[in-house]
Amino acid sequence: MDDWWTYSIADLILFTPETYFHLFELYHWAWWPLQLACITIAIAMLLCLWLKPARGGRVIAILLAASWAWVGWAFLHLRFAPIHWVANWYAVAFFLQALLLLIYGISRRGLEFEFGNSVRAVIGVILLLGALLVMPATAYLTGREWMQAELFALTPDATALATLGLLLLVKGRVAIWLAAIPVAWCFITGATLWALEAPEAMILPAGAILTITMMLVPTRRREAAN
């Protein structure tokens, strides 16, 4: 398409809210009871964070990579692409994110997590728990069916937000590189939901802005001090 700049966001969203949200319902029914496995993955990640086992960072990175790859294939490619012509490109981005997480997951040091009393860590925990515990309820809270829920490791928004929360707990600059695609997704999904007039449209963009702020502000301070 050589005239993309002439389109507004709403022009590019060529499906109705009913079709989009019903997609989640069909997807959840199709893969039931995989949701239980996803909840298990979430609990495993939280335990790794809490108990800090020797290779916990690697386990988290690999589980995250698997989640991104699954969402890219099962949701974006198989479900979303038939109604949205750019969804296969989104799927490619999700596979790339999975690859990046896998590379860090199997590298020598893996992802290293640290909890402190910093605002960054607090925001990270809030985003992570929000993605795991609050996002599944947003569909119901906004008047839709439970089966249209966002669920970590199964649907894109909860997966992206949980990833950002985790990355705020990761030591070093690697978090910035790994946050690029999840942040981009937060704005894409925010725009989509906004065009569909969904009340929760601003949740993910807000999470992305918080993440960017938390990741960049301390870096700039250090640079200024030098």
Partner 1 sequence: MTFPTRFSRREFMKTLGALGATALVPATRATTRELLISKPIPSSGETMPVIGLGSSRTFNVGDDIDARDTCTDVIRHFLDAGGHMIDSSPMYGSSQPVIGYALDKLGRSSEVFSADKVWISAPSKGRQQMEASLRFWGVTGFDLMQVHNLVSWQAHLETLYEMKAAGDIRYVGITTSHGRRHKEFEKVMKNHDLDFVQFSYNLVDREAERRLLPLAAEHGIAVIVNRPFQRGDLIDRLEGHPLPGWASEIGCTNWPQFLLKFIVSHPAVTCAIPATSQVEHVKENMGACYGVLPGAEMRARMIGYVENL
Residues that bind partner 1 (CB under 8 A): 1-3, 6-8, 10-11, 14-16, 19, 22-23, 26, 79, 82-85
Residue 38 CB-density burial (10 A; 0-12 exposed, 13-18 middle, 19+ buried): buried
Q: How far is the CB of 24 from partner 1 (least distance, A)?
A: 12
Q: How far is the CB of 185 from partner 1 (least distance, A)?
A: 20
Which residue, 85 or 177, has its beta carbon nearer to partner 1? 85
The CB-of-3 to partner 1 minimum distance in angstroms stands at 6
Question: Nearer to partner 1 by C-beta: 13 or 154?
Answer: 13
- State which residue, 11 or 114, has the beta carbon closest to partner 1: 11
194, amino acid identity? W
Helices (H), 168-202: 174-195
C-alpha to C-alpha distance for 63 and 208, rounded to whole angstroms: 21
Q: In the structure encoding, which two tokens stand for residue 21, read together?
A: 């949200």
d(CA 216, CA 219): 5
Measured from the CB atom, the residue of 15 and 31 that comes closer to partner 1 is 15
User: Minimal CA–CA distance to 31: which of 2, 74, 64?
Assistant: 74
Residue 1 vs 51, nearer CB to partner 1: 1
Smallest gap, in angstroms, from Cβ of residue 93 to partner 1?
Answer: 19
Q: How far is the CB of 91 from partner 1 (least distance, A)?
A: 15
Rounded Cα distance between 200 and 136, Å, is 12
